[in-house]
Structure 1
């Protein structure tokens, strides 16, 4: 299924698609050489927006939930990628422990945990789920609406290892983004592989650092293809020490919003784009679609009402927001069943394994779709991401469109690997 683009401005994206297809051997070789130098994140998902005139990632998640949105057809790819990933890290691995988020009452999220369990089980591992939630004091089985069940067990920590009663894993897979900080129980584990590492969590990670790495990647990729990197890169800036609750630091926000909107207007003028530019202000270390607002004019910030300020002040796990990233807003011109939609691409190791469209019937083309009321339609990624059709007309072929999405998602994944290298507390620093 290819969603329809509701814009006449499909020229630049069709040209980009053609350029990517024509350059496929060079692109795949470029990625291959990059992965010889850099380690991909263990798994990731990337939210992409297609404006018709540019195609860019707007968020990269290193603890992706939503694996339950992948179709049965996508599972073989995910299992193969899981095998490759585990083989690289711990070839003799027998037991894998998944540590999920603490919100154990969210059955939709738990369906994602069951899917991960299924994938790694089929990859040849004994998989159990160990909770670090204070609520889970004994083995707890949760029945899910789709008929599946998930068993959560309290984790047991010895001096140097983490496991369950009678279960000693070689590898621990975190599916918990550590928004509230890394709990002590996960620190100083030296004999087991913790994937992703603790510094991938939101207590350390910053979106601005990620997009700084992405900017570097997009410039190099743009040079390879002979394209303006702006076509695949959302411009951004950041602002620290904002206190939305008290209304402090908003001058810094106004100045930066105004400067970024001016830059975007300049690019729109260069490409003859008549849409009204906007920026998205987000918590620099946020997730779950919390702490996000759309701004079309810096003057709007003078009139922020109490409700908006409160919404921006607190994110997941009650964390207060002081640092924000101001990102060029990328319209989404795609529709599925008449609802505004954006593709989300899922990867494991360096492979695209699937994805889905996030749709929201009540949101506009310039709004965040990761919000209550969103629904999901699987992408036809099962065969097409790796098998584009070079002869097809740009914009008309699902495999070609999805191959292009997979390329952009892998660029974001590569940026995440640069970012993790830069923030690794154990990395050797050379003067």
Structure 2
């Protein structure tokens, strides 16, 4: 099930792959020690870009919504990881309530919810799906393109607990990223585990804070491995005073874009890379691939069309954009059926459980692929029986490349755990 992989296997990525494979025992021990100190997010997906000379995460999602894109071969891994995750949090758990996004009629998204239900059912839980969408007033069956169906039920809130009629869960799994803020119905729950916690939602999370944590992780990992952390870390700046609708704050954006492009050029010169650098400007709390644009030159910012400004001004749930992260652009040289592709790594608890390629035939190597028209090609990381093979020529083995993607995915997940600790309203370190 491993698709044919076409990659620019030149320059430091070969050295990086070799270093990572040679250091596998040290890497696994390093992660083991980190997880003794830090709690992994409940589940995570990480978008990875492979530029041939650099391999880095470009986005980390704490409410992953593409579980239906994993191969059936990966299901046992996800079930085992789900068992481990639940055991740690609520070993006596019997009932699990899944709360999805409110866009009820998106059947592709609901296929993902059904897959989550299947995973946790196999992990030994009674699983039902409860909607916080006020439009769902009675159990509603929705047919899916696969021929299966899913039942959404209205949630019932008592004074201290959340459940369904005749269903009292010990654990509530959110698959809703709370872009518009946490609804009151999810607050002040008593003796129920809410996974992930409310402060993992986009009303609190910021991409810039995540990548600040990732930078710290990459430096420590790079030091342990003896590599330049830049090879696995996208540099970034932030601008917090932009208003695309009114055209104000553009000086802040231009200055920060220019500064970052200058830093990237310096790195490219150091490594003898002849590519034209670019940056990606994204809403700092953005999701669903909304509020994103590629900038190759500061002149691009002077010539922004009204359409682009409108696209950048508002994201999911009508949230206005005032803060953006300006991220070093990482090209992707992965190709599937001649279309540009990027791997997306799926993790549960501290385990890599699979992933897929996001493929977009109409996008370039320096553009965001999470856009209408994207397709998904499942990716089996270990081909169930094939593990990484140290000693093979770099780039010769798909499992070796996938092991690297898994390492990058876990580094991003570790950064997310740092980030959640820093923003936990109940932690003493909260600022």
Q: Which residue of 1 aligns with 2:149?
A: 149
Question: Structure 1, residues 284-315: CA drift from partner, whole Å, max 9, x if none?
Answer: 00000000000001111111111000000000
Distance 1:430 1:314 in 2: 29
Find the aligned partners of 1:212 and 1:297 in 2 and give their Cα distance.
24
Q: 1:386, CA displacement in angstroms? A: 8.1
The structure-2 alpha-carbon separation of the partners of 1:71 and 1:107, relative to structure 1 and needing over 3 Å to count, comes to same
Deviates more, 1:379-388 or 1:203-212: 379-388
Q: 1:363 — aligned with what?
A: 363
| Aligned equivalents of 2:101, 2:354: Cα separation in 1 | 22
1:90 aligns with 2:51: no
Number of the residue aligned with 2:262: 262
Q: Is the contact made by 1:384 and 1:400 (CA closer than 8 Å) also made in structure 2?
A: no
Give 5+ residue unaligned stretches, structure 2.
none
* Closer/same/farther in 2, CA of residues 88 and 204 from structure 1, 3 Å limit: same
TM-score by length of 1: 0.98
Partner residue of 2:104?
Answer: 104
Residue in structure 1 matched with residue 347 of structure 2 by the alignment: 347
Are residues 237 and 386 of structure 1, via their aligned partners in 2, closer, same or farther at CA, if it must alter by over 3 Å?
A: farther
How far the C-alpha of 1:429 sits from its partner, in A, is 3.3
CA contact under 8 A between 2:93 and 2:171: conserved in structure 1?
A: yes
Within 5 Å, give how 1:70-89 maps onto structure 2: 70-89=70-89
- Give 1:209's aligned residue: 209
Instruction: State how far apart, in whole Å, the 2-side matches of 1:304 and 1:404 are.
Output: 37
Q: What CA RMSD, in Å, does the superposition of the two structures yield over aligned residues? A: 1.3
Distance in 2, Cα, partners of 1:178 & 1:386: 38
Cα deviation, 1:323-360, whole Å, max 9, x if unaligned, reads 00000000001101110000000000000000000000
Which residue in the other structure is 1:244 paired with?
A: 244
The aligned residue for residue 170 of structure 1 is: 170
- The residue number in structure 2 matching 1:43 is 43
What displacement does 1:391 show? 2.3
Do structure 1's residue 281 and structure 2's residue 281 form an aligned pair?
yes
Cα deviation 1:377-431 (Å, max 9, x = unaligned)? 1112144698211121110101100000000000000000000000000012399
Moved over 6 A (4+): none
Counterpart CA distance in 2 for 1:386 and 1:353 is: 14
Pair 1:392 & 2:399 matched: no
Number of equivalent positions:
430
C-alpha separation in 2, matches of 1:388 and 1:232: 19
How far, CA to CA, are the matches of 2:430 and 2:129 in structure 1? 39
Structure 1 unaligned spans of 5+: none
Q: What is the aligned partner in structure 2 of residue 139 from structure 1? A: 139
Alpha carbons of 1:420 and 1:212: their partners in 2 closer, same or farther (altered >3 Å)? same
- Equivalent position of 2:338 in the other structure: 338
1:33 aligns to what? 33
Distance 1:223 1:384, change over 3 A: farther
CA shift, 1:11, in A, is 2.2
The residue aligned with 2:325 is 325
| Superposed displacement of residue 4, structure 1 | 3.6
The whole-number CA distance in structure 2 between the counterparts of 1:383 and 1:90 is: 31
Correspondence for 1:298: 298
Secondary structure, in 3 states, of the residue corresponding to 2:282? strand
3-state secondary structure, aligned to 1:280:
strand
Whether the 8 Å contact between 1:384 and 1:399 is mirrored in structure 2 is: no
C-alpha distance in 2 between matches for 1:6 and 1:388 = 18
Q: TM-score scaled to structure 2, two decimals?
A: 0.98
Matches within 5 A, 1:400-411: 400-411=400-411
